[in-house]
């Protein structure tokens, strides 16, 4: 575990959680963005754009919001984070490594033969990974199962599911939206990484999903819209989500694909393309 | 006279028994519980039953999430919807992570009858057998269904159990000994082996009786588990009887016939023949009429045996 990690006192579930301040979170995401660039450029393939747009949200969850224990990844009272957009695996791996689930040095084994860090997440291989994902639109359903189990067992853990905006084109996402509200799962929280870009272009041109907020509201969800790179807004939204009773909450997080690296920002080319070594060098310089 | 019983009712009743023993058993259905008989469980344990509505894909994800939280999940629908409709979800959420979900599907095969082609699950076994983690079982009658469902509950990992719509002949008595992956030799014979599953086991026994009267001794094997396959019994049958007929209520490709043939080709090539639905969809009609039309009868098996035995 890194030395700069501040550990809070015991929470209600009797274990330590990370309790980063906003400046600490900001500092951490710089480091995580550097990991993402290094990992993907070393691997020679991967999805930098959607990893960089999502990493602030994942960081806020693991270093401030969620109750979890890197030394006991399957602790039964942990809050659960489901990465439905499995191609953003590098962002999750970087967070898991920095929070102590496995050594940071392991990050550069991404996508290599026999690595625990698969191209898309694998719950049986990587400590801390909850769901095997990669085929889009399935994470919210998985999250419903976990949230139902929490209700059945009278556990008060929260379940967080991070979806891409492209996943809002998948029919199953809306099946899940319908049923989560039907089951009144107020312990289920969805976050949409609304970076407006998918593999082939702008979501608006490929398959328009707007009005997104109204759609989720119509499906019975409490909705919150935020700037997905602003930690104050991210943290406030998670507090509001947790306090919402009787229905699930969706946080529509407006983000920038490739955030933090000038030539990757809003550049669809970097949806699923690794930076060259020269590009990686430039990116790392920007992220110093 | 043949006594008949419903495999899906046996499933529904067994779920209650399991629910009483284990509070972590959860049952999901997709708006078909009155037909699939999961409504018995729903009445007994309403808090542990979730109707997912007409959302089969979502149901698989929910099942996986519950299983990842330590539950033993039974998810049920008609066999067509529980296989074709949600195949990617089965692959991604259950098979790859090897989660403890039991897919029990009723209304398998063409014996569904009048509802017609859209409702005839005749691709399901091929699909499920292609998923490496799934144990795939087709019980031969209601009593074996009870045993298979209990075995699935007691064994960690993904299962697919295919049941029927109509009542089917009882071939076992209470106390029937069932082991996952271990076939049952129903009748010894030295001239040929008939390997069957599900409703075809009773028909294979009938065929064996008719053939015995003609001096042909048939070994009859109930291959209730398609995956993992009882290779030992197949190799033994090929070695000892030197001819094999496989009978199944499924398309020709990817089901029991294909799987047995692969073992026979590799280990002990002998003449084989196949009684199945070939490469064709069926029609609306009474179950008996459809089975007759497709040749899934004792007579159909008898004919296949006579043909293949000449090639020995």
Residue A141: which of B61, B69, B98 has the nearest Cβ?
B61
Least confident of A13-22, A61-70, A231-240, B130-139: A13-22
User: CB-based contact (8 Å) between B71 and chain A?
Assistant: yes
Contacts of B60 in chain A (CB under 8 A): 141
Residue of chain B minimizing CA distance to A78:
B69
Q: How far is B61 from chain A (nearest CA, A)?
A: 4
From the CA atom positions of chain A, what is the Rg in Å?
Answer: 18
Q: What is the DSSP string of chain B?
A: ---EE-HHHHHHHHHHHHHHH-TTEEEEESS-HHHHSTHHHHHH-GGGEEE--S-HHHHHHHHHHHHHTT-EEEEEEETTTTTTTTHHHIIIIIITTT--EEEEEES-BGGG-TT-GGG-B-SHHHHHHTSTT-EEE--SSHHHHHHHHHHHHHS-S-EEEE--SS-EE----TT----TT--EEEE--SSEEEEE-TTHHHHHHHHHHHHHTTT--EEEEE--EEES--HHHHHHHHHHHS-EEEE-SS-SSSSHHHHHHHHHHHH----EEEES-TT----SS-HHHHHHHHT-SHHHHHHHHHHHHTT-
pLDDT bracket for residue A13 (50, 70, 90): confident
pLDDT at A93: 98
User: Which band of pLDDT confidence, cut at 50, 70 and 90, is reported for residue A17?
Assistant: confident
Select from A132, A139, A175 the Cβ nearest to the Cβ of B96. Answer: A132
Q: What is the pLDDT of residue B172?
A: 97
- Active-site option among B4, B17, B44, B56: B56
Domain count across chain A: 1
Peptide bond into B228 cis (omega under 30): yes
Q: How many angstroms separate the CA of residue B58 from the nearest CA in chain A?
A: 5
Residue A2 has pLDDT above 80, yes or no: no
In a domain, A3, yes or no: no
Model pTM above 0.90:
yes
B121 and B250 Cβ atoms separated by less than 8 Å: no
Enclosing domain of residue A71: 22-286
Query: What confidence tier does A122 reach under pLDDT thresholds 50, 70, 90?
Result: very high
Q: Which residues of chain B have pLDDT under 50?
A: none
Interval A171-180: pLDDT, tens? 999 999 999 9
Residue A273 lies in a domain: yes
> Is residue A9 included in any domain, yes or no?
no
- CB-CB: which of A152, A176, A178 is closest to B61? A176
Instruction: Determine if residue B198 is left, alpha or beta; phi over 0 gives left, psi from -120 to 50 gives alpha, anything else beta.
Output: left
Binning pLDDT at 50, 70 and 90, where does residue A3 land?
A: very low
Q: Determine, yes or no, domain membership for A202.
A: yes
Q: Is the residue at A16 inside a domain?
A: no
Least CA distance to A74: which residue of chain B?
A: B69
**What pLDDT does residue B112 have?**
97
Domains of chain B by start residue, with CATH: 4-169 (3.40.50.970), 184-309 (3.40.50.920)
Domain contains A65: yes
Q: With an 8 Å Cβ cutoff, is B97 touching chain A?
A: yes
Q: Do A152 and B71 touch (CB under 8 A)?
A: yes
pLDDT at A5: 46
pLDDT mean over A105-124: 98
All residues at 6 or more sequence positions from B19 whose CB lies less than 8 Å from its CB, including other chains? B25, B27, B41, B44, B45, B48
pLDDT at B2: 85
Q: For the segment A199-247, what is each residue's pLDDT rounded down to a tens digit?
A: 999 999 999 999 999 999 999 999 999 999 999 999 999 999 999 999 9
Q: Which residues, including other chains, have CB under 8 Å from residue B128's CB and lie 6 or more apart?
A: B83, B90, B103, B134, B136, B160, B226, B227
pLDDT, one tens digit per residue, over B247-270 is 999 999 999 999 999 999 999 999
- SS3 assignment, position A219: coil
pLDDT at B1: 67
**Residue B56 annotated to the active site:** yes
pLDDT in tens, B64-92: 999 999 999 999 999 999 999 999 999 99
Q: Do A122 and B97 touch (CB under 8 A)?
A: yes
CB-closest option in B58, B62, B70 to A148: B62
The CATH number that applies at residue A74 is 3.40.50.970
The answer to whether position A8 is within a domain reads no
Strand order in the sheet with B49-51: B49-51, B25-29, B72-78, B101-106, B159-162, B135-137, B225-227
The predicted structure's pLDDT at residue A15: 56
Judged by a CB distance cut-off of 8 A, whether residue A118 touches chain B is no
Phi/psi at A103 (5° precision): -65, 140
Q: Does A176 touch chain B (CB under 8 A)?
A: yes
At residue A16, the pLDDT reads 57
Asked if the structure places residue A11 within a domain, the reply is no
Which run of H or of E encompasses A192?
strand A188-194
| Residue A271, pLDDT above cutoff 50 | yes
């Amino acid at each position: 575990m890194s030395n700069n990690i501040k550990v809070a006192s015991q929470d209600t579930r009797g274990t330590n959680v990370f309790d980063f301040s906003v400046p600490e979170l900001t500092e951490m995401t710089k480091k995580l963005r550097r990991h993402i660039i290094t990992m993907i450029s070393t691997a020679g393939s991967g999805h930098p754009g959607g990893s960089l747009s999502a990493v602030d949200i994942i960081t806020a969850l693991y270093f401030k919001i969620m109750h979890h224990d890197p030394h006991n990844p399957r602790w039964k009272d942990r809050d659960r984070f489901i990465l439905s957009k499995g191609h953003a695996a590098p962002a999750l791996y970087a967070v898991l490594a920095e929070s102590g689930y496995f050594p940071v040095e392991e990050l550069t084994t991404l996508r290599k033969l026999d690595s625990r860090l698969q191209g898309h997440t694998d719950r049986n291989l990587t400590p801390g990974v909850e769901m095997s994902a990669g085929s889009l639109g399935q994470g919210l359903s998985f999250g419903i199962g976990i949230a139902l189990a929490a209700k059945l067992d009278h556990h008060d853990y929260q379940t967080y599911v991070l979806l891409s905006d492209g996943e809002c084109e998948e029919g199953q996402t809306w099946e899940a939206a319908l049923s989560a509200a039907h089951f009144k799962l107020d312990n289920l929280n969805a976050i949409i990484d609304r970076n407006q870009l998918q593999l082939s272009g702008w979501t608006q041109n490929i398959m328009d999903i707007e009005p997104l907020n109204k759609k989720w509201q119509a499906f019975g969800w409490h909705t919150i819209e935020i700037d997905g790179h602003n930690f104050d807004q991210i943290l406030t939204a998670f507090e509001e989500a947790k306090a919402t009773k009787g229905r699930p909450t969706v946080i529509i997080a407006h983000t920038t694909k490739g955030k933090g690296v000038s030539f990757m920002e809003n550049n669809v080319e970097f949806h699923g393309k690794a930076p060259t070594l020269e590009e990686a060098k430039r990116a790392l310089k920007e992220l110093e | 006279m043949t006594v008949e019983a419903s495999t899906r009712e046996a499933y529904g009743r067994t779920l209650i028994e399991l629910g009483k023993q284990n509070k972590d058993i959860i049952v999901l259905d997709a708006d078909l519980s009155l037909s699939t008989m999961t409504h018995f469980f729903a009445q007994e344990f309403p808090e542990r039953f979730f109707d997912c509505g007409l959302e089969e894909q979502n149901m698989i994800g929910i099942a996986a999430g519950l299983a990842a939280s330590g539950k033993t999940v039974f998810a049920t629908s008609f066999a067509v919807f529980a296989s074709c409709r949600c195949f990617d979800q089965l692959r991604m959420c259950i098979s790859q992570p090897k989660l403890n979900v039991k897919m029990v599907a009723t209304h398998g095969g063409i014996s569904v009858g009048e509802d017609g082609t859209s409702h005839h699950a005749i691709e399901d076994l091929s699909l499920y057998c292609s998923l490496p983690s799934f144990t795939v079982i087709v019980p031969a009658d209601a009593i074996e269904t009870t045993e298979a469902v209990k075995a699935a509950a007691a064994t960690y990992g993904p299962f697919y159990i295919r049941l029927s719509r109509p009542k089917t002949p009882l071939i076992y008595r209470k106390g029937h000994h069932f082991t996952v992956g271990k076939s049952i030799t129903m009748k010894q014979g030295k001239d040929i082996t008939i390997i069957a599953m599900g409703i075809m086991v009773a028909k294979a026994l009938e065929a064996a009786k008719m053939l015995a009267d003609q001096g042909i001794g048939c070994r009859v094997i109930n291959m209730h588990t398609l995956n993992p396959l009882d290779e030992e019994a197949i190799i033994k049958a090929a070695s000892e009887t030197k001819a094999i007929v496989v009978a199944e209520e499924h398309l020709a490709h990817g089901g029991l016939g294909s799987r047995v043939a692969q073992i026979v080709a590799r280990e002990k090539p002998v003449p084989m023949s196949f009684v199945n639905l070939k490469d064709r969809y069926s029609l609306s009609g009474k179950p008996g009429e459809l089975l007759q039309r497709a040749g899934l009868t004792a007579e159909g098996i008898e004919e296949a045996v006579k043909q293949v035995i000449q090639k020995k």
